[in-house]
Structure 1
Amino acid sequence: MDSLALKPPLQQLFDEHIPLRAQMERIFDLACGLKEAGIGGGDTQLRLLVRQMTDFAWKLEQHSDREENLLFPMMARYLGRETGPIAVMEYEHDQAKRNIELFHEAYSMHGLRKDGIGIGQIAGYAEEAVTILMEHFCKEEHALFPMANNLLSEQELEQLEQAFTTGQDQGGDRI
């Protein structure tokens, strides 16, 4: 997808993927390294992974809120929400978020167990969240955003851009 062809609010979402993807690559490399190291996995690397996941989760939430509260409802007017691309996008958001939650829960429960099982499980949740999101971002960039670019009216795109600028969702609540 030539990102230059996207209208401004869709381009913003596309551009937000760039730093998120860079974070995901670092997380994935660290998680894979920890899984491979197993029992020899270092406390320092695990703590680094936890810090990176925490920062990433916060930034991802800001991005996904704009999609879930603004873009998806607009597109659902045309495409429906129960099946089709919006249902898939929301399902993938839920799956990635669930793996991030499981990551934090596993770390809280197992912490720095020295048997390697806890570290492998914790790293596995991070790895799964990233895998889901990498594929998800590709779908958005190559299918969903271009579809929205053609589907949404100029007025809807302006509303979307205004909402992104002011941080308002469609009901007027701050996101």
Structure 2
Amino acid sequence: MAKQTELRFTEPGMRLLENEHRYLSFLMDEWHAIVLEFENDQISLEEGREKLKMLRQKLYEFVEPLKNHTDKEEEHFFPVLGTYIGFEQGPLMGIQEEHQEIDGYIGHFFHHTRGNIDLMSIDDMKTVAKDAGEAFEVLTIHFVKEETVLFPMAEKLMKAADQDALYEKMNTLIT
């Protein structure tokens, strides 16, 4: 994901969510680098086992801030924005479905790595690493959609009182 030095949004709530995306993207880059190593056919069985253990640890450390961020969006941001744009169709529905898709890929990864990684073949490790790669791809596109569709929509449509109340509710740490 392209790195930016300045936040683009002016409303505090949108800036907060955008900043959380930056932090999550930083964490994602760490574990995605490991995923890419599995796509390289040069990885040995022993190296693969060590890399998969590292990937599992980095994803484990990623899940809590991601969950805190998505909970914040689902409990506070989406309901307020939905009062302006609707809930039944359109961008909010798609974004919420992506949250479930991301959870599914990460959950599938953890399910298939819960046993003894030292007993996995290199092909099994490559297959399970693909789940993390899929989660990365969905997350990357997901952040872009939120930042190019939802956040600008919120800044344009939401009343100042709703923006202020939203920021107060969301101004919590994700770590």
Q: What TM-score does the superposition give when structure 1 sets the normalisation length?
A: 0.87
* Aligned equivalent of 2:26, options 8, 22, 26: 22
For 1:76-115, list aligned pairs within 5 A.
76-109=82-115, 111-115=117-121
* Identity level (%): 26
For 1:70-81, list aligned pairs within 5 A.
70-81=76-87
Establish whether residue 51 from structure 1 lines up as the match of residue 31 from structure 2: no
List 4+ stretches of structure 1 deviating above 4 A: none
Deviation at 1:3, TM superposition (A): 3.4
Aligned residue number for residue 147 of structure 2: 141
CA distance in 2, matches of 1:38, 1:121: 15
Q: Which moved more, 1:79-88 or 1:125-134?
A: 79-88
Q: Which moved more, 1:107-116 or 1:96-105?
A: 107-116
Aligned CA RMSD, in angstroms, stands at: 2.0
User: Does the 8 A contact of 2:13 with 2:163 survive in 1?
Assistant: yes
Q: How many residues get paired? A: 167
Q: What TM-score does the superposition give when structure 2 sets the normalisation length?
A: 0.87
The answer for unaligned runs of 5 or more in structure 2 is none
Establish whether residue 61 from structure 1 lines up as the match of residue 61 from structure 2: no
CA distance in 1, matches of 2:128, 2:161: 45
Q: Which moved more, 1:125-134 or 1:140-149?
A: 140-149
Deviations 1:116-169 (A, max 9, x none): 1221122111100010000011111111111111111111111111112368xx
Deviation at 1:76, TM superposition (A): 1.2
User: Does the 8 A contact of 1:30 with 1:49 survive in 2?
Assistant: yes
Aligned AA (1:80): G
* Aligned equivalent of 1:8, options 5, 12, 27: 12
CA distance in 1, matches of 2:44, 2:111: 19
